[in-house]
Chains A and B, each alone.
Chain A
């Protein structure tokens, strides 16, 4: 489990009135499972439908309705577990978590408290500059999502939509291994990336398909190490759970403000109450969700409607064999095979679609480094300026981009002309080699033509020639003039050589 390729980041410290403090963070990420239908009913999971139209009687908690598990939800949880290098439990079971709230009409959430489907795993969270935190996963369990309440449509009523009720969630529970707000956000980014690669959750945080509960506590320096040695939580401070956050920015801000709140209370001689809190981004504060306190008596018990979930090792192995290449492996391969920098490889593997585009462009171009530069600088830049388009909407195909790069590599066009060519292909389409031919964009490597142009310039500017002979730095002016005279098509290397030769002679 030791990660030797990276250095361990230093935990963030907060200077209090009585000395330094550190924070300890554990996260519960709720990821909506990508499936067509719900965990225990045949209703659709599609987002944005008419209210209460994706609802089966099972989801509405109608008497006598029985849940039947969606096998694909189980497969997705197993894939996720394998992707996080976790142990898969061949026997797991469902429990009822009892609470009363209008968005869950059953009166209980079907979850997996005692026997989750996935056990211990890990996520490597890279933080730049070769530092990375290995965050241990404690468990992943399957459970039902609740519905959605809307509170602002009527002054006295809440409006409830059960479309999301019963959609499958994976709750991914980490160990308290995260030590700064930045690490917490980076952890969610990495987890989201892995889930998207696996295709087990689309990671759409705006729609609430990925949300995080964050457990925060503070302790004195040295205490965390004692916890690590003994796994005894009494070395750590009392934690508070900040519920339901769906943006990286809010996660960081909430942890920051919550840590400071706890430090202030302890330094004032007070004690932290273990409680559930809500982050208010407008006021940048967390506050207690007192109403949840009583509901926290969940009275879990095994769901009598559902037999234990037994899966077979062969099935798990088959799912494992079909997993796609995951971000860490892909990034390492890009660095190793194409000689990319760590940064470029990270950018290109951030989304599976980017990586696929890049690899197709490499195939067409026959050059990994050039392809990486063109995708990252030119293509991403153009897409961003073009209404922040997604790479899947790129008007330039990998084959076209590869074609442009090939023309540079074979000295048919100069790098400067290539930028113009890229713009033409982006805006008008077409086959790069044909465009170059048709529009006369070929680079002039014919030294005779370059020399002729240079001779003319030298003849017309005798004063400049004298100056340049004394100060070789001025040779650049001649190079520029030749490029101008040839419409940028002269091979810069040939021009430089010729200019140097002429001025020396």
Chain B
């Protein structure tokens, strides 16, 4: 798999990261280097090996159905660039 400038532009946009046009070719090059590194894993024969999801055998931790959190409107909104009347206020996003 090879990443071209166009793909790099698209990935940046999906990630909402502004990348100047002139930096896109270099970025695509870096992506390719990373992918090349990862593709080396393809050399390992994993035929019949069960996918490993955890280093130590663990059961997914569960929570009881109890309300233990919330009631912290001010803290939730504290880092918002703009908040009004208890809401996050964001640039208009309407269909």
Interface residues of B in 37-82 (CB under 8 A from A): 53-54, 58-73, 76-77, 82
Give the complex CA separation of A60 and B77 in angstroms.
Answer: 9
With known contacts A51-B86, A156-B91, A159-B87, A69–B63 Cβ distance under 8 A: yes
- With A102-B93, A289-B95, A310-B59 as contacts: A53 and B53 at CB distance below 8 Å: no
Place the interface of chain B in its size category.
Answer: 35 or more
Residue in chain B with minimal CB distance to A280: B95
In the complex, chain A residues 402-433 whose Cβ is within 8 Å of any chain B Cβ: none
Task: Tell whether B35 is near chain A: CB-to-CB under 8 Å.
Answer: no
A363 to B37, CA, bound (A): 74
Are A102 and B54 within 8 A (Cβ)?
no
Q: Report whether A42 and B89 are in contact in the complex, using a CB–CB cutoff of 8 Å.
A: no
Give the residues in chain B near A69, CB-CB below 8 Å: 60-63
Q: Mark A46-76, 1 if CB is under 8 A from B, else 0.
A: 0000111111111010000000111111100
Counting CB contacts under 8 A, is A264 at the interface? no
- On chain B, the residues within 8 Å of A100 by CB distance are 14, 16
Bound form: Cα–Cα A258–B53 in Å: 44
Point out the residues of chain B lying under 8 angstroms from A153, CB to CB: 85, 87
Residues A70 and B63 in contact, CB atoms below 8 Å apart: yes
20 interchain pairs, CB-CB under 8 A: A35-B65, A36-B66, A37-B69, A43-B70, A51-B85, A52-B76, A52-B88, A53-B70, A53-B71, A56-B69, A102-B90, A154-B89, A156-B91, A157-B90, A157-B92, A291-B95, A306-B60, A307-B53, A307-B58, A307-B59
Indicate whether A159 sits within 8 Å of B93 (C-beta atoms), given known contacts A44-B67, A309-B60.
no
Q: Is A149 an interface residue (CB 8 A)?
A: yes
Is there a chain B Cβ closer than 8 Å to A293's Cβ? no
Give Cα A43 to B66, complex, Å. 8
In the complex, whether B94 has a CB less than 8 A from a CB of chain A is yes
A50-B86 contact, Cβ under 8 Å, with A55-B70, A156-B92, A307-B54: yes
Taking CB atoms, residues of chain B closer than 8 Å to A151 are: 92-94
Report, as a range, how many residues of chain A touch the other chain: 35 or more
Residue from the set B10, B76, B82, B95 with the largest chain A CB neighbour count within 10 Å? B76
Q: How many A-B residue pairs have CB under 8 A?
A: 136
CB distance from A67 to the nearest CB of B (A): 9
How distant is the Cα of A51 from the Cα of B86 in the complex, in angstroms? 6
**How close is A175's CB to chain B, nearest CB, in angstroms?**
29
The docked-state distance in angstroms from the alpha carbon of A37 to that of B76 is 18
Which residue from A53, A158, A297, A308 sits with its C-beta under 8 Å from B94? A158
Chain A at the B interface: SS class = loop
Minimum C-beta distance from A405 to chain B (A): 42
Who on chain B is nearest to A53 by CB?
Answer: B73
Max chain A C-beta neighbours (<10 A), residue from B13, B62, B77? B62
Residue from the list B65, B77, B84 in contact with A37, Cβ < 8 A: B65
A351-403 with Cβ < 8 A to chain B: none
> Whole-angstrom distance from the CB of B94 to the nearest CB of chain A?
4
Distance to closest chain A CB from B10 (angstroms): 8
Do B66 and A37 touch (CB < 8 A)?
Answer: yes
Residues of A within 8 A of B67 (CB): 36-37, 42-44
A42 touches B68 (CB 8 A): yes
Q: Which residues of B contact A306 (CB under 8 A)?
A: 60
Nearest residue (CB) in A for B82 is A157
| Residues in A neighbouring B13, C-beta threshold 8 A | 294
Partner of A56, one of B70, B84, B87, B95: B70
